[in-house]
Chains A and B, each alone.
Chain A
Amino acid sequence: MTAPRPGGSRPRRPRASQRAGRTRNRGPLLILVPAGIGVAFLLVPLIALLVRAPWHGMGRLLSEAQVLTALRLSLECATAATIGSLALGVPLAWVLARSSFPGLGLLRALVTLPLILPPVVGGLALLLAFGRNGLLGRYLDHWFGLTLPFTTPGVIVAETFVAMPFLIVTVEGALRSADRDFEEAAATLGASRLTVFRRITLPMIGPSLVAGSVLCWARALGEFGATITFAGNYPGTTQTMPLAVYNALETDPQAAIALSLVLLLVAVIVLVGLRDRWLRAGSAP
């Protein structure tokens, strides 16, 4: 609080300063009005979803076999994509954060490209790489009889391609800011580089690892463009929840809303979980 100044009537001063404080927090109208419109713009669609939801038929809509199949497929594929991202993304993040070689900056940019690449383009690119006649796909087919496009593994590949950069970016940031001192201390105690990574580095970036995995999983769960391009839209094998929503819009809009609500619920759970536990813990050094 500011020191009392001479002059002016005493009882009015606190009220005046309160009013000044409130005005300052509120900011000028020129900012407040667009900000308010922005909030409405983001929230009204969600409210519409809730208002128009077929609450009475919800149980029936969500217990349909096709819906349950899509839900199960979504959860399984997103989880598999997250596991794949962890297996490949964490070592890659380590390389990006801890090594130095010419072209590292370029590599980092390329690796995170799927973050901003339109997913449809990603799906097409996957098709050209792993398709039956693709760059690598023809060998997979010839040698192993392995076909990815329009199969469930194809869904996992598409989701991993799109979601892994989220994990890489989060983990790389954590590895960068992690205290190297502890790794040095571990080395002086006789720990090999692998032991240091396993017993010191990984536990210390744990919060970021969890945050990155959850982000990655959520992104994989919502993946649409790359999946439909690379894996198609076949109920039971490649039709995940977002694809089911898209399909249902044509045939049964009520079901589409119900499915969307499920995805919204998952998103909210992820957001709340991240905010309360991992995002903040992960951002602390």
Chain B
Amino acid sequence: MIGGRNDIREVAAIAEGSGRTGLAVQAVIERETFRLDVAFTVTPGEILGVLGPNGAGKTTLLRALAGLTALSGGDISLDGHVLDDAATGQFVPAEQRPVGLVFQNYRLFPHLSVRENVAFAPRSHGTDRRSARIVADEWLNRLGIADLAKRKPAQLSGGQSQRVALARALAAEPGLLLLDEPLAALDASTKLAVRAELRRHLAAFDGPTLLVTHDPLEAMVMTDRLLVLEDGRIVQHGTPAEVARRPATQYVARLVGLNLYPGTRMGSGQVALDDGGTLTAAGLAETGEQPHPPDPAGRVLVAIPPTAIALHTSPPTHTSPRNIWPGTVAGLELLTDRVRVQVAGTPPALVDITPAAVADLDLAEGTPIWLTAKATEVDIYPDPN
């Protein structure tokens, strides 16, 4: 279980001294066919990434934080102020929450100029027209888009719209910033530039930030910490590096490009895989995080990078790898500089080799093949779920 209720209270209590405690969430949202149940905290200045497939509940979570959806259970508090508490019925509506939300499609008001869009929040908070304009111009300057002030949203490129949307959200001076797939609407070439810039602007924001994405690269480079959300619950929680190295689910493993096998530890470094087959890991006993002696019936995950598996057309005899198993080529896919070979077997595997090796081995769909993986390349860790 990640981030239980007691942990949240503890974190909140520790941070109380500084006055700004950040975001504490323990949220349950029930729909007819869907249930979101998550608990986590985000400290001021921290960027929490929420990574998950479509339909995992990412947007529902953002809507609950913004006040566009009410909780069915649990509570949300920001810097010690309750925003929503299902038990007491306390609910701060969206327009009264100090929460900025950058929507996936930006939702810039089409009938207002860029300046008027950014001035919208100050105006709504009662600032007079002139002062709101000054505030808007400050934000446009800060984001380097002062020259766009008079344009209408229809005259902006994707990257420009994204910056205007960010400026508009920040001009409300929110205590919590939410970004829903901020780069998803951009084409690949602008994405790169905008990503670096967004990262810089987010670093300047001193409140907690939540960044929702299904793009693994975005999640890795933009965030300080990651939550992986699947089917409405948190399946993994850690730094981007931890999540990338030791994915907890097939979804994350596919995103970060690892072969992942759930199984049961049997002792002597061997793991019986759930879907058949056995793998041996050298580091099993030495992994520092694990208790000694290892729990013999422990549920574990085994991860192998596709580059760590070798392919042979005949059974390798004089090789050192401890993992040898047969399979058949099920598919070939050209990545930029490598070929990804899908191998059916027990267990199945994705294997990356060079195009030259494909030619040497004369691989085609249906070719019988032998797979080898060194025990040192096989990572094994407890299954958090």
Contact = CB atoms under 8 A, between A and B. Distances in A.
B365 interface: no
B168 interface: yes
Contacts, number: 59
Interface stretch (B96-104, B198-206, B278-286): B96-104
Contacts of B124: 186, 189-192, 195
A22 to B, nearest CB: 40
A187 B111 contact: no
Nearest to B97: A188
Contact of A188 (B99, B123, B125): B99
Nearest to A195: B124
Which one of B95, B100, B105, B168 has the greatest number of beta carbons of chain A within 10 Å?
A: B95
A278 to B, nearest CB: 15
B139 interface: no
B146 interface: no
A185 B172 contact: no
Interface string B91-118: 0011111011101010101110000000
Contacts of B123: 199
A200 B95 contact: no
Contacts of B66: 188
A188 B100 contact: yes
Contact of B172 (A190, A199, A200): A190
A64 interface: no
Interface string B114-155: 000000110111000000000000000000000000000000
Which one of A184, A203, A204, A206 has the greatest number of beta carbons of chain B within 10 Å?
A: A184
Given A184-B68, A185-B103, A186-B124, A192 B109 contact: no
Nearest to A206: B111
Interface string A154-198: 000000000000000000000000000110111111111101000
Contacts of A181: 103, 105, 107
A187 B172 contact: no
Given A184-B68, A199-B120, A192 B111 contact: no
Contacts of A204: 110-111
A191 B120 contact: yes
A188 B68 contact: yes
A2 B27 CA distance: 61
B121 A190 contact: yes
B103 A189 contact: no
B30 to A, nearest CB: 21
Interface string A257-273: 00000000000000000
B234 to A, nearest CB: 24
A187 B95 contact: yes
Contacts of B172: 189-190
Nearest to B66: A188
Nearest to B120: A189
A189 B111 contact: no
Given A182-B107, A204-B111, A188 B101 contact: yes
Nearest to B106: A185
A118 B369 CA distance: 86
Contacts of B169: 188-189
Contacts of B110: 182, 204
Contacts of B67: 187-188
Which one of A184, A190, A193, A199 has the greatest number of beta carbons of chain B within 10 Å?
A: A190
Given A182-B109, A199-B120, A203-B111, A187 B68 contact: yes
Contacts of B95: 187-193
Contacts of B125: 190
Contact of B168 (A184, A189, A199, A206): A189
5 contacts: A188-B68, A189-B100, A190-B121, A199-B123, A204-B111
Chain A to chain B: the 8 pairs with minimum beta-carbon distance, closest first: A185-B107, A189-B121, A191-B124, A187-B94, A190-B124, A188-B101, A203-B111, A187-B95
Interface of B: 66-68, 93-97, 99-101, 103, 105, 107, 109-111, 120-121, 123-125, 168-169, 172
Given A188-B67, A189-B100, 13 more contacts: A182-B110, A185-B103, A185-B107, A187-B67, A187-B93, A188-B68, A188-B169, A189-B95, A189-B120, A190-B124, A192-B95, A199-B120, A203-B111
